[in-house]
Amino acid sequence: MAAPTATTSIARPRVDLYSDTVSRPTDGMRRAIAEAEVGNEQAGEDPTVNRLQAMVAELLGKEMALFLPSGTMCNEIAYRVWCDHGDEIILDATSHALHFETGGPGALAGVMTRPVSGDRGIFTGAQVEAVIRPKTRHAPRQKLVSIENTANLGGGAIWPLEQVADVAAVARAHGMRVHMDGARLLNAVVASGISAARFAAEVDSAWIDLSKGLGCPIGGVLAGSAAFIEEAWRFKHQFGGAMRQAGIVAAAGVYALEHHVDRLADDHTRAKRLADGIADLRDIAVDANRVDTNMVYFDVSGTGVDGPEFSRRLMAEHQVRIGAMSASSLRAVTHLDVDDRDIETAIAAIRAVTAEA
Ligand SMILES: *Cc1c(COP(=O)(O)O)cnc(C)c1O
């Protein structure tokens, strides 16, 4: 399992499905940034940051929220707040925190990680129950269960609400808290019709990323109880995440929450169209019925070309960028800089590379 392999070319691709992090701020967002009212964020005096935090607290149905420079910092600060050094977090074997945060749980939060193997990144209460340790002085203390909704390496899969509740009930029965990595929670919300607050009501802390499908340049917002956020503020300073006139970037977040949430449905429709457009290819394995949100994973091993080489050819021959996720698979991610025509271009490119292979 690897991070998506970037193609070496620095030329901007014609169609960029590498990630939903590649989108550029829209003109409206840039205007909101230019016009932002600002103040000293770390003194609580930036009105735009305060507004963004209030919006996210309300969206997630939590008492308070905290603006942070990245989603990674949202995860690591939450882990640090809920755990002491040497404590253990239970999470999925495919989770972002385990693979893409450079060992942050160990290095920054000082915690042990206990992976369980869910289905597409989604595990059950019984799986949590199965790894509960005896409460002896020899065992690490288990403090937190961390879930990822949507599950990135799970293909953008949405946690069923009952399963979040099931996992949370088992966690609570063993004295643990529950954290939700909601980098793409709003994709789950728009696709499922379940509100963000309803999902978040099952967990103690949750966050959304501003720089994924919402299309902002920077940031994440972490939410929880007032006491949790008070502690999170301490670690925000300690981790070097306290800022000054951060309203410049928070303004993009406010703008995105007002203008870029409902349109996530378009990203989902386009991801589905992409999957449908290559589903008949004998040498490509893709399950269009498992495209829940804005990601399409497909396996190219039937073509005889490996994942990184398939990705390289898409870029070199068609200027379509789709990252390789393993020796045999690629991941295409839709976002607000991809339109219907781009999807048709990408389908044609995948078909052409497959035909030549
Ligand atoms: C992107 C991502 C993160 C980290 O967010 P950054 O803003 O890139 O630091 C965490 N979890 C998941 C599921 C992600 O996709």
Ligand 1: centre distance to CA 303 (Å): 31
Contact 4, 100 (CB under 8 A): no
User: Per-residue confidence at 1, pLDDT binned at 50, 70, 90?
Assistant: very low
Residue 48 neighbours by CB under 8 Å, 6+ apart: 36, 37, 38, 246, 247, 248, 250, 251, 254
Listed residues 210, 243, 259: the one ending a domain: 259
288 in a domain, yes or no?
yes
Query: Could you read off the pLDDT of 59-84 as tens digits, one per residue?
Result: 999 999 999 999 999 999 999 999 99
The last residue of a domain, from among 240, 259, 278: 259
**Token pair of 185 as six digits:** 């929670």
Average pLDDT over residues 279-301: 96
Same domain, 224 and 315: no
Whether residue 7 has pLDDT greater than 60: no
What is the band of 227 on the pLDDT scale with cuts at 50, 70, 90?
Answer: very high
Whether residue 242 sits in one domain with residue 122: yes
Residues 324 and 221 in one domain: no
Q: Final residue of a domain: which of 213, 239, 259?
A: 259
Tens of pLDDT along 108-167? 999 999 999 999 999 999 999 999 999 999 999 999 999 999 999 999 999 999 999 999
Looking at ligand 1, which residue's alpha carbon is closest to its atom 14?
Answer: 183
What is the Å distance from ligand 1's center to 357 Cα?
34
Number of domains in the chain: 2
pLDDT at 12: 84
In this structure, are 255 and 299 located in the same domain? no
State in Å: Cα 298 to ligand 1 middle. Answer: 21
Same domain for 328 and 184?
A: no
How many angstroms separate the alpha carbon of residue 150 from the centre of ligand 1?
11
pLDDT reported for residue 288 = 87
Report d(CA 64, CA 67) in Å as an integer. 10
Residue 255 lies in a domain: yes
Same domain, 244 and 308: no
216 in the same domain as 314: no
Segment 274-278 mean pLDDT: 98
How far is the centre of ligand 1, averaged over its atoms, from the C-alpha of 352 (Å)? 32
Say which residue the tokens 């070319």 belong to: 9
Residues 216 and 295 in one domain: no
Per-residue pLDDT for 3 more than 80?
no
Structure tokens at 94: 């495919």
Higher-scoring residue by pLDDT: 3, 350 = 350
Q: Is residue 245 part of a domain?
A: yes
The CATH number of residue 169's host domain is 3.40.640.10
Check residue 206 and give its pLDDT. 99
Whole-number mean pLDDT of the chain?
96
Report the first-to-last Cα separation within the chain, whole angstroms.
Answer: 24
Taking the whole predicted model, whether its pTM rises above 0.85 is answered as: yes
> Do both 218 and 107 map to the same domain?
yes
From the CA of 101, give the closest atom in ligand 1: 4
Do 64 and 48 fall within a single domain? yes
Q: From the CA of 211, give the closest atom in ligand 1.
A: 7
Question: How high is the pLDDT of residue 11?
Answer: 73
Sign of CA dihedral 10, 11, 17, 22: positive
Domain range enclosing 315: 263-356
Residues with CB under 6 A from ligand 1: 70-72, 75, 96, 148, 152, 181, 183, 209, 211-212, 220
Q: What is the spatial distance between Cα 32 and Cα 26, in angstroms, rounded to a whole number? A: 10
Q: Is 123 a domain residue? A: yes
Protein residue closest via CA to atom 7 of ligand 1: 71
Residue 315 lies in a domain: yes
Same structural domain for residues 271 and 202?
no
Domain membership flag for residue 216: yes
Rounded percentage of the chain residues whose pLDDT exceeds 70: 97
Q: Does one domain contain both 290 and 237?
A: no
Average pLDDT over residues 343-356: 98
If we measure between CA atoms, which residue out of 271, 238, 316, 58 comes closest to residue 156? 271
**How sure is the predictor about 242, in pLDDT bands with cuts at 50, 70 and 90?**
very high
